[in-house]
Amino acid sequence: MSQEEVILPLGDFADLDRGGPIPLYFQLAQKIESAIKDGRLAPGSRLENEIALGNRLSLSRPTVRRAIQELVDKGLLVRRRGVGTQVVHGQIHRKVELTSLHEDLSNGGKAPSTKVLEIKRSNADQKIAGHLNVKVGSPVLMIKRLRFADNVPVAILENWLPEDFVDLADENLASHGLYQLLKARGVSIKVAQQNIGARKSNTAESEMLNVEKGSALLTMERTAFDATGKAVEWGHHCYRPDLYSFEVTLVEK
């Protein structure tokens, strides 16, 4: 998507009511939201900076900043370090099912790509051994990847696999999803235990995901089991919430 700065014409803001009961920041936020929804501000495009917009509209910087923050909070805009304020790309809604992120992106019409950050053969400490139900000190494989959707960073994926799969380090993890590689080896993943949460990003995560330090992230931990009940992977993932959400269907018993 385009990352060019888009300057909305003054006519779009001609009917701002400067003396009425509706706060100016709210009116401004509505005007920008309307431009996003009708396509005048396309996904990925950069909004005019706060000072320039305020000067053009004769509005104070706090008024413009609050209007933009309203749209950031609604998930329509995102502030990105070194880039500015951008219209978010279409959010990826992931159903809580036994699928991989690579599959979800492909099925959702996005182009997935991967940067492998680290692959390490090591021995399971107490935490990893507990998740994989193996003995402490058993050989394990750790894979850390940065996943993109249409060239935009979406998630940091860290997975641990037991001894049977340590040779996956030799596979092309940059172009294949982890579950694809496991299925190619005849692994049938039947059930998983999953926890979804949220926390603030640290410095390294902020740089990789191109968000401000301390931004909110969605988190997911999952242990997947094969048809025999054996753990085949444990993963800890974090996602940009402006681009990603989990979808859950609730059924009354």
- pLDDT confidence of 11, banded at 50, 70, 90? confident
Domain 5-87 has CATH 1.20.140.10: no
- 77-80, strands of its sheet edge to edge: 5-6, 46-47, 84-87, 77-80
Tens digits of residue pLDDT in 150-179? 888 889 999 999 999 999 887 788 888 888
Q: Cβ distance 102 to 118 under 8 Å? A: no
- The residues spanned by each domain of the chain are 5-87, 92-247
| Highest mean pLDDT (candidates 64-73, 84-93, 199-208, 226-235) | 199-208
Look-up: residue for tokens 């799969």? Answer: 165
Q: Stretch 242-248: mean pLDDT, rounded?
A: 67
- pLDDT confidence of 9, banded at 50, 70, 90? confident
| Highest mean pLDDT (candidates 76-80, 172-176, 178-182, 247-251) | 178-182
Among the listed residues 247, 245, 249, the one whose alpha carbon sits nearest the alpha carbon of residue 91: 245
Question: Which CATH number describes the domain made up of 92-247?
Answer: 3.40.1410.10
Instruction: Name the pTM for this structure.
Output: 0.61
DSSP letters, 65-102, are HHHHHHHHHTTSEEEETTTEEEEPPPPEEEESSS--HH
The predicted pLDDT at position 253 comes to: 47
Half-sphere exposure of 106 (CA within 13 A, CB side): 11
